[in-house]
Chain A
């Protein structure tokens, strides 16, 4: 099942959805690359690998995208504060802001 909704604190944790992406992503790269080359050479093994690679890529994105959106939305709220800290650091100024 693909989880569609994430709370802010849930999205910030490393969960099985991340591990699905971590495992599938290299597999997608290999299948698509080798599959594409062998497909151009009209090899049946190439067709199978390419179709499998595209299918896994779609599945991986369906799994990870809702979580990435939640992480992004939550992080955007804090980004300005963190940017101000970064600017203070590069200018050797003290940092004493509270989190937003």
Chain B
């Protein structure tokens, strides 16, 4: 299909782009004040701003395609796929609080707050480099999704949609840094949410309303599609209960850890930009629930699309279902508004990943390893240069990426499977050390490729279902990182006590807590315990960095 825009349609698009560019101009002076301003908005945001950024960032151009794919294929039961963000439910009250108290700019920096010595530095360097390229990769796949949409709508070559709008976005990210990102995200979040509701409601109405959809599904013998619990048995079929349990377990219990899904790294920046621990918790909780409610609306709209077009077999075709509801059925003059909302969805994701990737490059690589004495002005400059490099790299990635879904799922598994448990252990278990964590990453990289791609390709193992891959990768990883942890020294008690007093982590921290009490750094029932040392010796309480 191709869409023809009227003058009014292009006016909507132009007004939206002017509004976004305005964010860059308005907040230029705030963004350039310091590294903290350019990357964390001075750590002074009320909860609803980072919450809107959480929501807007995770409403990307590929999100409606992906959700449409799973709902069209599986019916309402497919909504459980979208619960991979459920980690935020527990995280908001556990790991978010712990991470906010560490004050680390990034998850890479958190490694040197939690661990010590060479292992912690290796982790920081590795994670920073990996995140820099991971953000470039995300920018590429989100960008190419926009390219596909523009190709679908206007028959433009893919590269135009990939490059043009990312360039516009880069203007306000380069100018105002995170200030520009978060202020634009707020506007984009509002616009996107409204339009998602309008287009979905329009599609549902077109399909005959809620009653009409159910009647048509009944006639088609597909009434099970409105049942979110329509599983295909315990172990068999496309939608077994075993998969469901695995999915919920990964999603929710992951909230005890940090980095249990790829989204954590984006959220970590929002957590640190919140002005208090309480604001950080609410920003994660409310930003995520808003995304889940959005998924509910989308799910029903996709059921509407299904009853309108029930026989599509090509995944690439039915993945465009939600966009078709808008472009096929909205009245003239509203198409531009819809496209502006798609741009809002796109720009919010692009801007966040541009600034986040630049944060890792600036804080963890440049400042820590290249120029530790850099001035604030210099750090902001490096932030801008890194943003530009990310942008150019994302164009390269985008142009070589063809199958969005398989890359996305593989990237999520890389993140989730073998390091899921280590990501929790690093938060809840005092004995887990830098070498254990580092070994889990190395092992997971190897095992993921083997289990997901190489061994099935060589017919050495069958193609496994994703929940089966998860458990296998988890067990294989554990066979490496548990021995490594227990065969290497724990972190120094001085460092652990310092970390414990600052972050107050949950879990198995008994020996560290006892030591902190003994040193008089933690009160028990409001008092020092008998025999506790007064916290007056700096060498005990705040050890020198080695």
Contact = CB atoms under 8 A, between A and B. Distances in A.
User: Are A and B bound to each other?
Assistant: yes
A65 B109 CA distance: 29
Contact of A40 (B296, B363, B368): B296
Given A9-B526, A21-B93, A26 B367 contact: no
Contacts of A21: 93
Given A29-B86, A34-B79, A68 B281 contact: yes
Given A40-B297, A72-B277, A64 B93 contact: yes
Interface string B359-399: 00001000110001100000000000000000000000000
Interface string A81-100: 01101101111111111110
Nearest to A12: B504
A89 B93 CA distance: 27
Q: Is the interface of A mostly helix, strand, loop or mixed?
A: helix
B97 interface: yes
A5 interface: no
Nearest to B204: A40
Interface string B85-107: 01001101110010001011100
Interface stretch (B206-214, B259-267, B439-447, B450-458): B206-214
Contact of A99 (B204, B211, B541): B541
B476 interface: no
A29 B63 CA distance: 19
Interface residues of B, number: 64
A41 B226 contact: yes
Contact of A29 (B279, B292, B544): B292
Nearest to B124: A90
A18 B543 contact: no
B480 to A, nearest CB: 29
B90 A32 contact: no
B526 A86 contact: no
B113 interface: yes
B109 A95 contact: no
Interface residues of A, number: 50
Contacts of B76: 37
Contacts of B93: 18, 21-22, 25, 64
Interface in B275-308: 276-279, 281, 285, 288-289, 292-293, 295-297, 299-300, 303
Contact of A95 (B226, B504, B542): B542
Given A83-B103, A91-B372, A25 B285 contact: yes
A71 to B, nearest CB: 5
Contacts of B89: 25-26, 28-29
A86 B297 contact: no
A26 B83 CA distance: 10
Contacts of A25: 89-90, 92-93, 285
A39 B535 CA distance: 57
A41 B300 CA distance: 7
B289 A32 contact: yes
A7 B228 CA distance: 44
A22 B94 CA distance: 8
Given A26-B90, A97-B542, A42 B296 contact: no
9 closest A-B pairs by CB: A72-B276, A36-B296, A37-B296, A68-B278, A25-B89, A26-B89, A91-B372, A33-B292, A21-B93
Interface of B: 76, 79, 82-83, 86, 89-90, 92-94, 97, 101, 103-105, 109, 112-113, 204, 210-211, 213-214, 226, 228, 252, 276-279, 281, 285, 288-289, 292-293, 295-297, 299-300, 303, 363, 367-368, 372-373, 501-502, 504, 506, 521-523, 526, 535-536, 538-539, 541-545
Given A9-B523, A95-B543, A96-B539, 6 more contacts: A26-B89, A38-B228, A68-B277, A72-B277, A76-B276, A89-B113
